[in-house]
Amino acid sequence: MAVLPILHYPDPQLKKLSQVVEHFDDELRQLANDMVETMYDAPGVGLAAPQVGELKRLIVIDCAGKEEPPDLLIAVNPEIQAQAGESCEEEGCLSVPGYYAAVKRFNRVVLKYQDLDGQARQREAEGLLAVAIQHEIDHLQGILFVDHLSPLKRSIFRKKYLKQQQQKVEA
Ligand code: NI
């Protein structure tokens, strides 16, 4: 297993559409394992393959609290089958370090996906897990959580964030 470098906004790779996974082989397993290690190392509650430069429909999530046992979800070709309720929680993203904002999402979802063996599976989720699922699936469409902000908030974000990145480079 290996910790992979995470791409940061505004990397153009993050805007691309990920492809459906058709081969459930060792290469996929290796990528999933590396993504899990990368997520735990960051630490973060979710990671999508395009964030590590792989345009594949694969996400990993673990929203368990510090005191709770791990609750690892590895979902290949994830799709939201049903959705309900509203939520507006503060989100962050490993590809947008240091920035957090509230985003409107559904509060409950039914997720349809395949496991690493290609078996069809389903999981019902609510709250933080439901939000994480929507956030990670967005990545597969080339969408970041900041894309959900109002145009005004987004332009403020862009200025602030890019200035911050610039300062990091100069420092
Ligand atoms: Ni993210």
Nearest to 96 by CA among 135, 150, 140: 135
What range does the domain containing 85 cover? 12-170
User: Residue 160 domain-assigned?
Assistant: yes
pLDDT of residue 127: 96
User: Residue 107 domain-assigned?
Assistant: yes
Active site residue 91: no
Half-sphere exposure of 45 (CA within 13 A, CB side): 15
| One-letter amino acid for residue 50 of the chain | P
Q: Please pick, among 27, 37, 136, 170, the residue that the annotation labels catalytic.
A: 136
pLDDT more than 70, % of the chain: 100
pLDDT of residue 171: 74
Measured in Å, residue 138 CA sits from the centre of ligand 1 at 8
For residue 124, is pLDDT > 90?
Answer: yes
Half-sphere exposure of 103 (CA within 13 A, CB side): 24
Nearest to 144 by CA among 51, 67, 52: 51
> Which residues have their alpha-adjacent CB atom under 5 A from ion ligand 1?
93
Q: What is the pTM of this model?
A: 0.95
User: Residue 86 domain-assigned?
Assistant: yes
pLDDT of residue 132: 98
User: Residue 5 domain-assigned?
Assistant: no
User: Residue 102 domain-assigned?
Assistant: yes
Q: What is the mean pLDDT of the chain?
A: 96
User: Residue 24 domain-assigned?
Assistant: yes
Question: pLDDT tens, 128-171?
Answer: 999 999 999 999 999 999 999 999 999 999 999 989 888 888 87
Measured in Å, residue 48 CA sits from the centre of ligand 1 at 7
User: Residue 4 domain-assigned?
Assistant: no
Place of tokens 């933080």: 128
pLDDT of residue 165: 84
CATH of residue 94's domain is: 3.90.45.10
Number of domains in the chain: 1
User: Residue 52 domain-assigned?
Assistant: yes
The residues pairing with 110 across neighbouring beta strands, listed in sequence order, are 82, 124
